[in-house]
Structure 1
Amino acid sequence: MIKILAFAGSNSSTSKNFQLIQHTVSLIEGYDVQVLNMSKMPFPLFSEDLEREEGYKNSLLELKDEIQKADALILSVNEHNGNPSAYFKNLIDWLSRVDRDFLEDTRVFLMSTSPGRRGGAGSLAVTKDLLPRFGAEIITTFSLPSFNHFFSKEEGITEEPYKTDHHERLQDFLFALEF
């Protein structure tokens, strides 16, 4: 069975991107889906000194192993000032030090949302260019603008054309996993 790992690039306990992840995986049937809540995974700020003196945390090594065991990844990245959050960038820095090709042969459905009208478009673009450096294949992307207006916990994405676009992109991603 195809294994999909899903998480948000945010360590916030109220992450809008994690809510989008939860909604997305609720629409998937017939796959082994594992969801990680990154608010429960703190990592120290990367530094070469810390890496040399203390090495890698077990939680980091376990995360890398989970990513590498998965056939695919659903990732939703948050945005701070037009870029991925410091947490997500730090996570990528640590993972790439453990194994530069930690995403090798990993197919990715990359998403982003924010309360603003751009839906995290800056972070999405940066991350879309960044992840292939570590071996990822970005299958498709999705951005949901105005999260507070177009999303509810009960219904998920509430507005067209975003609801249909999300569904179609998820189906494209799942179709790509079969081949």
Structure 2
Amino acid sequence: MKVLVFAASNSRQSINQQLASYAASLIPNAEVEVLDLNDYEMPIYSIERETQSGIPDQAQRFFAKIGAADAIVVSFAEHNGSYSAAYKNLFDWTSRIDKQVYQNTPMLMMATSPGPGGAQSVLASAVGSAPFFAADVKASLSVPSFFDNFDSEAGELTNTELKQQLEAALQLLH
């Protein structure tokens, strides 16, 4: 099983990247590819830029990576209650290739934040809009208070209940 993993964040110290990578590591016999959104940085989307220069190679590569995956694990960073600008721009460009960005690939959508909200606003938005972009969301999980529930040194969830919820969610990707 080829699993594509990324955080919807361009932070080099992304807690969402830590969470997504950890989740993927729990999938037995998976071939995991972790993407860094910094490798997909492009000009801010506009119809004028698209008309003038076409769709950037970074969006084409991202779309191809999704198409080659058997499953996707993504964790969304929440910026002011919504998507990070880095993710939203990549998504906007990619949606111009094909509105079915996620190509019916089974997905686990997650989110975390340092606070008790666990980035639930952005996760709800992502899950709610997913069907419009051909996302086959098998499960979603919010991890509140990241630093209280995740050991960054060991790279794992320490909260037993959240770990069980994550393991159950991952079973749905098979």
1:45 alignment counterpart: 44
User: How do 1:27-106 and structure 2 match up within 5 A?
Assistant: 27-106=26-105
1:24 alignment counterpart: 23
1:128 alignment counterpart: 127
**TM superposition outliers: structure 1 runs of 4+ over 6 Å:** none
Q: Name the SS for the 1:62 alignment partner.
A: helix
- Aligned partner of 1:65: which letter? A
Shift in alpha-carbon separation, 1:3–1:155, aligned structure 2, 3 A: closer
In the alignment, the residues of structure 1 paired with residue 2 and residue 32 of structure 2 have an alpha-carbon distance, to the nearest angstrom, of 6
Structure 1 unaligned segments of length 5 or more: list them: none
Q: Name the SS for the 1:14 alignment partner.
A: coil
* TM-score, length basis structure 2: 0.93
Cα deviation for residue 136 of structure 1 reads 0.9
Q: Deviations over 1:138-165 (max 9, x none)?
A: 1001110001211112141112321222
2:148 alignment counterpart: 149
In the alignment, the residues of structure 2 paired with residue 155 and residue 103 of structure 1 have an alpha-carbon distance, to the nearest angstrom, of 28
Q: Name the SS for the 2:96 alignment partner.
A: helix
Structure 2 unaligned segments of length 5 or more: list them: none
Conserved 8 A contact 1:6-1:34: yes
Conserved 8 A contact 2:83-2:122: yes
2:164 alignment counterpart: 164
Q: Name the SS for the 1:83 alignment partner.
A: coil
Conserved 8 A contact 1:11-1:40: no
- Aligned partner of 1:71: which letter? D
Q: Name the SS for the 2:160 alignment partner.
A: coil
Shift in alpha-carbon separation, 1:90–1:155, aligned structure 2, 3 A: closer
In the alignment, the residues of structure 2 paired with residue 23 and residue 71 of structure 1 have an alpha-carbon distance, to the nearest angstrom, of 18
Conserved 8 A contact 2:7-2:74: yes
1:108 alignment counterpart: 107
Cα deviation for residue 84 of structure 1 reads 1.5
Cα deviation for residue 41 of structure 1 reads 2.5
